[in-house]
């Protein structure tokens, strides 16, 4: 079986291209992971997701533990088989959803006790249980269980939260079952405080992980502060491990983060926005619900080769989305995922050719005008 590894191919400034090797295949970096929360990327067949160029998708511990349960998925052959995705899967630990979705929650040293947002049933999610669930799912990349620090947070609150996450990180590592081809990622916390981020990064490296994520960003701090935090956090992480910025983001967020040395991303934005009528294009985002598109015979994006752009007009997609037809969600989602994968491929190409700055400038010019 393929060992879990990360190889850097080329660098241009702080940005880099590489390959993460896993039990279920290789991930070209920088990589964008479409979000398949409940074992499905909404409105997409797995084959359609693959056709956009996605090497990996993200599944969610919280949602899958509640429905249909990790034990049931394991009995049915694991998440890859269950959802017909024979490529890498990363699962987040459930920490964010416990904080944002569950109805009543109580955080203790043990973990988080909460009531399901679906039926009110009581559950306890601890580092050990999160590792168990992700193992049952068969995740290629498992995330440690951490507390998602709210924003804004005082330094005292952020420090307390970060220290709890570090203790949970150690317990996650101890509970994780090592298998060839599978990896465990630590998550750096510390809000927007440089010294806290430094302490978190150093102590996580002492525990030792296969990759390192940057958590607690894209939670309301704004792009400028996010980039400022990345400017000092990314260099604190080991060169020879993948770096993953969680829950990010808009196309210009991705370009700015790749420039600062980030390798992996996930975000619901392309899928959720697609279902709500926003299309990302090479000339910026458009709202297909606008009346000006009802007679527009042009493609969503003349520079895109997805089925939505090749075969349908803006006028038709405007009609579908306005009528709340399922096909509207499908075509818009397909296009947005294709746009994101095209963006990642263009960044990888620019880095390999030593032209990332040139790419960034042309991207900004096209996207902001």
Is 266 one of the catalytic residues?
yes
CB 66 within 8 A of CB 116: yes
Rounded Cα gap, residues 56 and 64, in angstroms: 18
Render pLDDT for 294-340 as a digit per residue (tens, 0 to 9).
Answer: 999 999 999 999 999 999 999 999 999 999 999 999 999 999 999 99
Go through the domains of the chain in sequence order and give each one's CATH number: 5-266 (3.20.20.105), 268-369 (no CATH)
With 90 as the cut, is the pLDDT of residue 100 above it? no
Render pLDDT for 264-300 as a digit per residue (tens, 0 to 9).
Answer: 999 999 999 999 999 999 999 999 999 999 999 999 9
Sheet arrangement for strand 122-125: 105-107, 112-115, 122-125
Q: Is the peptide bond before 54 cis (omega within 30 degrees of 0)?
A: no
- DSSP string covering 175-214, please? H----TT-EEEEEE--TT-HHHHHHHHHHHHHH--SEEEE
State the sign of the Cα–Cα–Cα–Cα dihedral 291, 295, 301, 302.
negative
With 80 as the cut, is the pLDDT of residue 185 above it? yes
Is 12 one of the catalytic residues?
no
Render pLDDT for 139-157 as a digit per residue (tens, 0 to 9).
Answer: 999 999 999 998 999 999 9
- With b meaning 16 or more CB within 10 Å and e meaning fewer, what string describes 14-37? ebbbbbbbbbbebbbbbbbbbbbb
pTM: 0.97
Residue 97: pLDDT band with limits 50, 70, 90: confident
CB 209 within 8 A of CB 242: no
Of the candidates 146, 253, 263, 266, the residue annotated as catalytic is 266
Rounded Cα gap, residues 40 and 163, in angstroms: 34
pLDDT at position 204: 98
Tokens of residue 247, six digits: 């829950």
pLDDT at position 63: 94
- DSSP string covering 50-101, please? HHTT---EEEEHHHHHHTT-HHHHHHTT-HHHHHT--S-EEEE-SHHHHHHT
Render pLDDT for 30-53 as a digit per residue (tens, 0 to 9).
Answer: 999 999 999 999 999 999 999 999
With 90 as the cut, is the pLDDT of residue 105 above it? no
Residue 101: pLDDT band with limits 50, 70, 90: confident
* Residue in 248, 262, 220, 213 with CA at minimum distance from that of residue 35: 248
pLDDT at position 94: 86
Residue 369: pLDDT band with limits 50, 70, 90: low
Of the candidates 12, 55, 92, 140, the residue annotated as catalytic is 92
Q: Is the peptide bond before 68 cis (omega within 30 degrees of 0)?
A: yes
Q: By three-state DSSP, how is residue 48 classified? A: helix
């Amino acid at each position: 079986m393929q060992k879990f590894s990360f190889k850097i191919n080329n660098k241009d400034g702080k940005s880099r291209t590489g390959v993460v090797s896993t039990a279920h295949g290789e991930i070209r970096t920088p990589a964008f992971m479409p979000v398949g929360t409940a074992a499905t990327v909404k409105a997409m067949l797995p084959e359609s997701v693959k056709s956009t160029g996605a090497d990996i998708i993200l599944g969610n511990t919280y949602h899958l533990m509640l429905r249909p349960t990790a034990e049931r998925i394991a009995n049915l052959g694991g998440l890859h088989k269950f959802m017909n995705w024979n490529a890498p899967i990363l699962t987040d630990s459930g920490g964010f959803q416990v904080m944002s979705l569950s109805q009543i929650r109580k955080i203790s040293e043990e973990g988080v006790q909460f009531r399901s947002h679906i039926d009110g049933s009581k559950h306890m999610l601890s580092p050990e249980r999160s590792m168990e669930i992700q193992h049952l799912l068969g995740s290629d990349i498992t995330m440690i269980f951490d507390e998602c620090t709210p924003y804004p947070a005082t330094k005292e609150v952020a420090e307390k939260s970060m220290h709890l996450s570090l203790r949970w990180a150690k317990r996650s590592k101890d509970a994780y079952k090592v298998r060839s081809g599978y990896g465990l990622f630590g998550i750096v916390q510390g809000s927007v405080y440089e010294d806290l981020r430094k302490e978190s990064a150093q102590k996580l490296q002492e525990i030792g992980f296969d990759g390192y994520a940057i958590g607690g960003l894209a939670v309301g701090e704004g792009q400028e502060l996010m980039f400022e935090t990345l400017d000092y956090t990314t260099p604190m992480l080991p060169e020879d491990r993948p770096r993953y910025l969680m829950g990010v983001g808009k196309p210009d967020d991705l370009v700015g983060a790749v420039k600062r040395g980030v390798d992996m991303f996930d975000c619901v934005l392309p899928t959720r926005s697609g279902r709500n009528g926003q299309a990302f294009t090479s000339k910026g985002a458009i709202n297909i619900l606008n009346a000006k598109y009802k007679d527009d015979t042009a493609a969503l994006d003349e520079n895109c080769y997805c089925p939505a752009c090749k075969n349908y007009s803006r006028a038709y997609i405007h009609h579908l989305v306005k009528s709340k037809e399922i096909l509207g969600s499908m075509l818009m989602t397909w296009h947005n995922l294709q746009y994101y994968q095209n963006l990642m491929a263009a960044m990888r190409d620019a880095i390999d050719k030593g032209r990332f700055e040139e790419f960034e400038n042309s991207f900004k010019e096209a996207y902001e005008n």
